[in-house]
Amino acid sequence: MSQAVSFEVDTYQNNRWVLECVLDDKDMALSTAKRLYDSKRFSAVRVVQETFNEDSNSSRERVIFETTVADRDNRAAKQQMAAVKVDRSERKSLKKRPRQNTKPATKTVKKSGPSLWVLLLWLVAILAGGATLLYYLQSL
């Protein structure tokens, strides 16, 4: 089984990956990628290892190194924080706030008076009584 391994150094430009060079040596590819990235001309750099299998005529790719502007910014921030190291021994302790109830108080509304159905029943009874009274008065 014969395999050929190569390393592609890609840079991210204009919202797409651009092939910069193809190398046979992994260490050389990694150092080239780091040098390109440290030049600050590219927002991201990666090294892709491509393994070509001559027997099956197929290739397999995997990213072995990738860095972005966020990585560079994070590294710079870490270095800056290490340089500014604050002495916290003189710092006063913080007072704890009293705990507040996180659940809002729900008011229970107590019903006063009869329900709607009882009122409707009374209305029907009064109307029926009034109609009966009118019928009785007309028959006299």
Taking the domains of the chain in order of start, what are their residue ranges?
3-83
pLDDT tens track for 50-76: 999 988 889 999 999 988 877 766 777
pLDDT tens track for 123-140: 999 999 999 999 888 888
Q: Which pLDDT does position 14 carry in this prediction?
A: 86
Averaged over 87-106, what is the pLDDT? 66
Q: How far from each other are the two terminal CA atoms of the chain, in whole angstroms?
A: 121
Q: Quickly list DSSP for 19-87.
A: EEEEES-HHHHHHHHHHHHHTT--SEEEEEEEEEETTTTEEEEEEEEEEEHHHHHHHHHHHHHHHT---
3-state SS class at 125: helix
